[in-house]
Amino acid sequence: MTELEALNNRHSVRSYRNRRIERETLDRLKAFLEECNQKGSIRLELAEDAGATFSRFFHKGNGLSTAPSAIICIGPDDETLEERIGYYGEKAVLFAQQLGLNTCWVGMFQAKGVPVAVRNGERLVLVIALGYGNDSGRSRKSKTAEQVSCSDTDAPEWFRYGVELALKAPTAMNQQKFEFRYLSDGTVSAKAFFGPFSKVDLGIVKYHFDLGRAAFGQKESFFS
C-alpha cells in the first residue's frame, strides 16, 4: 500500500479488536516515529499498552476504551507545537495504515493515565488510538474545495489536487476550519480559523496538501 493509497483508505476507527500488535510491526512503527521526532522536533511516543489513557467509563460508549495501544503526542511547549504535532502525527498515522493498523486522533483522554512522562518544558497535546479495528471506519461529509481554498490568480492542477487531499484529512469534529490560498508569486499560504484543536488540524491538512503537490513533482513543503 502506498502512502496515497493509505490516505484514501484511512478513516477514524473507534472500536478495536482484542488483539495485541505484533512485535515486528511495533518495531517498524517505533523506528518511523523516531524519524518523525527528529524531523519535527517533537516526541511521538508509542505506548504498547494504552493503560488508563482511555477511560473505561468515558470512552466506553464510543469504543475507544478498547484501543490496545496509543501514540502519545508530546513536544516542547511553543506556539508551533500543535501544528507540528498535526503534521508529523498524520505522517505517522498514514504509516500505521500502511502497516495494516487503524487509528483515531483523540483530544479528550485521561492525562494522568497516559503511560509516558511529560518532561519539564514539554506539553502533552493529544493521543492517537492504535490497534486493529472492528471495522475500517467510514467516510464523513466534506466541504467543497471552493469553501476551503481561494486563489489570487489561476491556480495550477497541483494546488487543486493538494486541496482535494486536504479535504480528506481528519479534523476535530469534522470542522474543516482551514483555508489554502494560491498566491500570485506561485507560493501557497494556509491558515486555520478558530475552533478546538484547529492548529493541530492545520498541521494535518498541510501534510495532506504536501502529499498532493509532491505527486506533481513539486519540491516545496510546509515543513522540511
For domain 145-214, the CATH architecture is 3-Layer(aba) Sandwich (3.40)
* Grid cell listed for 76: 516542547
Q: What is the reported pLDDT for 118?
A: 94
**Contact between 16 and 128 (Cβ < 8 Å):** no
Report the sign of the C-alpha dihedral through residues 217, 218, 223, 224, in that order: positive
Domain ranges of the chain: 3-131, 145-214
Confidence of residue 129 (pLDDT cuts 50, 70, 90): very high
Decide whether 3-131 matches 145-214 in CATH topology.
yes
| Average pLDDT score over the chain | 94
pLDDT confidence bin for 208, thresholds 50/70/90: very high
Q: Alpha carbon 73 to chain centroid distance? A: 10
Percent of the chain with pLDDT over 90: 86
Q: Give me the sign of the Cα torsion angle 51, 53, 54, 55.
A: positive
Q: Give 29-75 pLDDT, tens digit per residue.
A: 999 999 999 999 999 999 999 988 887 655 655 558 889 999 999 99
Global pTM reads 0.95
- Tell me which CATH homologous superfamily contains domain 3-131: NADH Oxidase (3.40.109.10)
pLDDT digits (tens, 9 = 90+) for 163-186: 999 999 999 999 999 999 999 999
- 146 burial (CB, 10 Å; 0-12 / 13-18 / 19+) is exposed
DSSP-assigned letter for residue 7 = H
Cα(178)–Cα(209) distance, rounded to whole angstroms? Answer: 12
